[in-house]
């Protein structure tokens, strides 16, 4: 019997030996071990007290009953009231390595920014009525001053489809029948987010939810791509990330459109000016934090140049040259290059192989380095073009992989990722809402970690999903596995710096800052919860 238990322990250890959190687990301090115990006890306690599988879930459609790691949009209200979420909210997160800039700011805040801009006008292509409110989307655009209108309302019977209405008029005079100004806000917000009844009811397949998902970007794009809003947007993105404990961000910025709208409504601001604006805001935020003595809280940002995986090879060549020119002008800001969009329906990497290989050559000639940081394998497909993107991403030398959802199926590719330190930017809540997985316990993250592949947890498009910051993704991951522990959290945080595009020296600074804030975090856990949840056995209050 003793012999059996020994063999069993050995086997479990061998099975987990590849996990990258093993070194972190082994190195946990005494205080960290106590905090780990607290976290596990709270997880066990809340699994019963909060997520009890016999308790009906609040929203329909969605899971009928509660469980840890259940569908996020249904669970969100419950999550924010858990002790575990409150704790994870205080955790220093390290870097955010996968987020699309144009989906990182709460949509109500974006709307507030838009309302403040008299240049912003809105129109609809079909009459708005209570029964079309869900299907007719707002189209926004900043207009040149000469084009500004005085049209009083979008919802007047006199309104003629396609005419531009100043956003304030549209909002103030939104028909009472459709909720007045608040109804306008709801209408816009619904067009910018995925709600539970879409994700789990009307659009609960990957194909369908991607249609809604894509439409949110169509609505928000002309707002965000307006220079006065863009700078506010970046600032809000940085500040809200920092307030969630994120100390470095590496957003993907979409450069598919060649120009931004200026304050005068002209669509003529080129990419290099976008970078100048980004840098200005970044430096302002850094200065403000410095002035507050909070330098540890934020180390900066770099940008992953992105365009759509729907373009032609010729268009891609333009973007690659554009990216190279930007790298030469802003070497400290350009972190990498990526192609984005729905992998299941858009073009695979292999279609672009010639320009991409040429790009690598061109970099060598110019003595610059712009790593690929490709989306790949964001699919449930097996052997489909989207799944096969993983082979091309790796052969092209990708620095990290965006999503890599289907990576767990590929033994050789996991081995290569493990050996070449290719980190996977996993976006669990995004994957679940976009219906690649039904819930966190079904997500392949544990398989990938168990195979020794490094992972950075990411939020992807938090404004659309409602998973602002990284606390929600950490929460969903932490509650969905009994193997996860404080060492796993620490690994995920430290790896998000290790696999970032920061220079070595900057990384050292980031680790030191993390060490300090982590110590405070551990102390916070023990001070606040050590008494009630510090016992070895789970507390059953």
Q: State the residues that interact with a second copy by CB under 8 A.
A: 1, 4, 7-8, 11-12, 14-15, 17-18, 53-54, 61, 63-65, 67, 70, 201-208, 350, 353-354, 357, 380-384, 387-388, 391-392, 394-395, 408-413, 435-439, 441-442, 444, 446-447, 450-452, 480-484
CA distance 189 to 192: 5
Contact between residue 457 and residue 477 where contact means Cβ atoms under 8 Å apart: yes
Distance CA 524, CA 91 (A): 10
Long-range contacts, 195-203 (Cβ 8 Å, 24+): 195/73, 196/59, 196/61, 196/62, 196/71, 196/73, 196/74, 197/61, 199/71, 199/73, 199/433, 199/435, 200/61, 200/62, 200/71, 200/73, 200/74, 201/60, 201/61
CB neighbour burial string for 227-242, b if at least 16 within 10 angstroms, e if fewer: bbbbbbbbbbbbebbb
8 A C-beta contact, residue 218 and residue 227: no
**Considering the complex, what minimum distance in angstroms separates the CB of residue 2 from a second copy?**
11
DSSP calls for 233-292: HHHHHHHHHHHTTEEEE--EEE--SS-EE-TTS-EEE-HHHHHHHHHHHHHHHHHHHHHT
Beta carbon of residue 408, minimum distance to a second copy (angstroms, whole number) = 5
| Smaller CB separation from a second copy, 391 or 511 | 391
Provide DSSP, 41-94.
HHHHHHHHHTT-TTSBPSSSSS-SB--TT--HHHHHHHHHTSHHHHHHHHS--E
Token pair in block for residue 347: 């073009």
Q: Do 499 and 509 form a contact (C-beta atoms < 8 A)?
A: no
Q: How far is the CB of 389 from a second copy (least distance, A)?
A: 12
Q: How far is the CB of 450 from a second copy (least distance, A)?
A: 5
- In terms of CB distance, is 16 or 235 closer to a second copy? 16
**Least distance in angstroms from the C-beta of 399 to a second copy:** 18
Residue 30 burial (10 A CB sphere; 0-12, 13-18, 19+): exposed
CA 320, 368, 391, 409 dihedral sign is: negative
Instruction: Indicate the residue among 7 and 290 with the shorter CB distance to a second copy.
Output: 7
Instruction: Give the list of residues 6+ apart from residue 228 with CB closer than 8 angstroms, or none.
Output: 117, 263
Q: Which is nearer to a second copy, 480 or 522 (CB)?
A: 480
Least distance from C-beta 414 to a second copy, angstroms?
A: 9
Complex with a second copy: residue 362 or 409, whichever CB lies closer: 409
> Which one, 240 or 384, has the nearer CB to a second copy?
384
Among residues 90 and 409, whose Cβ is nearest to a second copy?
409
| Residue (338 or 432) nearer to a second copy, CB | 432
For a second copy, the closer CB: 366 or 447: 447
In whole angstroms, the minimum distance from the beta carbon of 415 to a second copy comes to 9
- Residue 261 pairs with which residues in a beta bridge? 226, 267
Of 438 and 530, CB closest to a second copy: 438
Q: How far is the CB of 433 from a second copy (least distance, A)?
A: 13
For 258, other C-beta atoms within 10 Å of its C-beta total 13
Minimum CB separation of residue 492 from a second copy in Å reads: 15
Least distance (Å) between residue 114 CB and a second copy: 31
Task: Report the distance separating Cα 360 and Cα 336, nearest Å.
Answer: 12
Nearest one of 316, 310, 402, 373 to 347, comparing CA atoms = 310
> From CA 204, how far away is CA 262, in angstroms rounded?
39
Cβ at position 397, least distance to a second copy in Å: 12
Q: Which is nearer to a second copy, 176 or 313 (CB)?
A: 313
């Amino acid at each position: 019997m003793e012999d059996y238990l020994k063999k069993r322990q050995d086997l479990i250890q061998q099975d987990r030996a590849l996990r990258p959190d093993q070194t972190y687990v082994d190195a946990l301090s005494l205080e960290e071990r106590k905090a780990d115990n607290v976290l596990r006890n709270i997880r066990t306690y809340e699994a019963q007290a909060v997520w009890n599988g016999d308790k009906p879930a609040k929203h329909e459609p969605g899971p009928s009953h509660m469980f840890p790691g259940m569908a996020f949009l249904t669970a969100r209200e419950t999550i924010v009231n858990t002790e575990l979420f409150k704790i994870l909210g205080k955790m220093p997160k390290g870097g955010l390595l996968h987020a699309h800039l144009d989906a990182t700011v709460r949509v109500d805040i974006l709307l507030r920014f838009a309302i403040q801009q008299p240049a912003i006008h809105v129109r609809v292509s079909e009459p708005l009525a209570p029964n079309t409110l869900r299907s007719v989307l707002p189209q926004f655009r900043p207009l040149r001053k000469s084009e500004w209108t005085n049209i009083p309302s979008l919802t007047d019977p006199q309104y003629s489809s396609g005419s531009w209405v100043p956003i304030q008029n549209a909002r103030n005079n939104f028909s009472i029948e459709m909720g007045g100004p608040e109804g306008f806000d709801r209408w816009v917000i619904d067009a910018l987010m995925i709600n539970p009844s879409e994700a789990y009811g009307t659009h609960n397949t990957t194909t369908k939810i991607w249609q809604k998902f894509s439409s949110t970007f169509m609505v928000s794009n002309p707002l965000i791509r307006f220079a006065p809003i863009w700078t506010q947007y970046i600032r809000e993105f940085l500040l809200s990330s920092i307030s969630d404990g994120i100390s470095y961000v590496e957003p993907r910025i979409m450069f598919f459109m060649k120009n931004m709208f200026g304050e005068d409504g002209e669509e003529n601001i080129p990419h290099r000016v976008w970078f100048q604006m980004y840098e200005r805001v970044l430096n302002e935020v850094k200065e403000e934090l410095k002035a507050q003595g909070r330098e540890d809280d934020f180390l900066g940002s770099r940008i992953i140049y992105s365009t759509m995986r729907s373009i032609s090879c010729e268009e891609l060549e333009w973007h690659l040259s554009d990216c190279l020119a930007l790298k030469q002008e802003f070497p400290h800001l350009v972190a990498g290059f990526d192609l984005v969009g729905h992998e299941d329906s858009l073009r695979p990497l292999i279609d672009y192989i010639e320009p991409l290989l040429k790009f690598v050559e061109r970099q060598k000639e110019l003595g610059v380095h712009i790593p690929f940081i490709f989306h790949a394998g964001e699919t449930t497909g097996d052997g489909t073009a989207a799944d096969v993107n993983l082979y091309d991403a790796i052969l092209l030398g990708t620095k990290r992989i965006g999503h890599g959802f289907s990576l767990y199926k590929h033994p050789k590719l996991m081995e290569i990722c493990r050996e070449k330190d290719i980190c996977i930017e996993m976006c669990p809540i995004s994957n679940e809402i976009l219906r690649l997985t039904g819930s966190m316990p079904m997500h392949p993250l544990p398989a990938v970690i168990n195979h020794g592949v490094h992972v950075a947890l990411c939020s992807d498009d938090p404004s659309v999903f409602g998973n602002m910051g990284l606390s929600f993704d950490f929460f969903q991951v932490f509650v969905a596995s009994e193997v996860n522990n404080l060492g796993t959290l620490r690994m995920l945080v430290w790896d998000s710096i290790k696999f970032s595009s920061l220079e070595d020296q900057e990384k050292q600074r980031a680790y030191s800052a993390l060490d300090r804030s982590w110590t405070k975090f551990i102390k916070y856990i023990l001070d606040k919860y050590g008494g009630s949840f510090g016992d070895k056995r789970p507390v059953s209050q």
